[in-house]
Amino acid sequence: MRLKNKRVAVFVELEFEDLEFWVPVMRLQEEGAKVTIVAPKANQTYKGKYGVSATSDVAAADVNADMFDALVVPGGWAPDKLRRYEAVTRLVRDMYAQKKVIGMICHAGWVGISANIVKGHRATGSVALKDDLNNAGAIWTDEAAFRDGNLVWGRVVKDIPDFCRELVKAIEESA
C-alpha cells in the first residue's frame, strides 16, 4: 500500500463526472490513502452526470490544507459550480501554497483557474478548457496525463488510468 497514512481530499458537487470521481477515489483507497469527500455542504448526496451518487463527508468551509496531503478535483460540470465557493478556492490556494499535490482532470481546470494557481504551469483537460487555461496564463499541453510541479493533470475520461498513475506517484513522492 503505497499511500498508507496519506490523507487525500476529493471534491464533489452536482453533475460530477462519475468515472473521474469514483475511479480515482477507489484507486487512492486501494493504495491505502484515507480519502475524505469534500463539498460545499457536509453529509449531502450529490448526483453525478450519469446518475451515480456520492455523499460528502465534510464541508469545504470546515477543513483546511493542514488536514490533507493531497487534493483531487474531478471533472464534469461540478468544477463550474465548485469554483464559485470561496471555501473551495481557498483550500486549493492553500494546498498549492504548501506545495501539496493537486490533481485536476477534464473540466477541473476551472477550479485551478478560479483559485489562481495555473499561471506558468503546463496544463491539460477537456479541449473546451484550452482557451480558459491559456487566458489564465497556463501552457496548454495535449497529453493524457502529467505532473508539473505539485499539479497533476489529466485530460479526459479515457485518460483516467494515466491520471491515476501520475496522481499516486506524485502523492507517494510528496513529503
What domains lie within the chain, and their CATH numbers?
7-173 (3.40.50.880)
Average pLDDT of the chain, as a whole number = 98
What angle (nearest 5°) sits at the alpha carbon of residue 175, between those of residues 35 and 161? 50
- Residue of 6, 81, 83, 107 with catalytic role: 107
Beta bridge partners of 54: 46
- For residue 76, the cross-strand partners are 16
For 140, other C-beta atoms within 10 Å of its C-beta total 16
107 is catalytic: yes
Global confidence as pTM: 0.98
Encode pLDDT of 33-68 as tens digits.
999 999 999 999 999 999 999 999 999 999 999 999
The residue whose grid cell reads 494515466 is 162
What is the per-residue pLDDT across 2-23, written as a single tens digit (0 to 9) for each?
Answer: 999 999 999 999 999 999 999 9
pLDDT at 175: 74
Residues 124-140 pLDDT 10s: 999 999 999 999 999 99
